[in-house]
Amino acid sequence: MKDFIIDEDLLITKGDFAIKEADQQNIEHLLLSQKGSYKEFPILGVGIKKHINGPDATSRLRLENEIDKQLSYDNFYVKTLDVNDLQNIKIDGNY
């Protein structure tokens, strides 16, 4: 999916907004945002920072379920999802 690119601020190329493939950026924003961050879609957002120090496998399963659900809300088809290493979450799929 092509969209505006945000790199700390909107990326501008040749005097106009840069538009490039933004799938990775969209997923990152969805994972980092909290529910309520998007006023038009108040249930959208994973809030991954609150899950980072989850103590057990149950919290990892909840996180995996929440990521899958939120990506589905955003019309992203998830083929595989692995949250065993929270520093390197693996998501395979497409919009």
The enclosing domain of 76 has a CATH number of 3.10.450
Q: What is the distance, to the nearest Å, from the Cα of residue 92 to the centroid of all Cα atoms in its chain?
A: 12
Q: How confident is the model at residue 66 (pLDDT cuts 50, 70, 90)?
A: very high
Q: Count structural domains, the chain.
A: 1
What domain range is 60 assigned to?
A: 2-94
Mean pLDDT over 50-66 rounds to: 79
Q: How confident is the model at residue 23 (pLDDT cuts 50, 70, 90)?
A: confident
Query: Which residue, 65, 39, 41, 38, is CA-closest to 51?
Result: 65
Considering the chain, what percentage of its residues have pLDDT values greater than 70?
Answer: 93
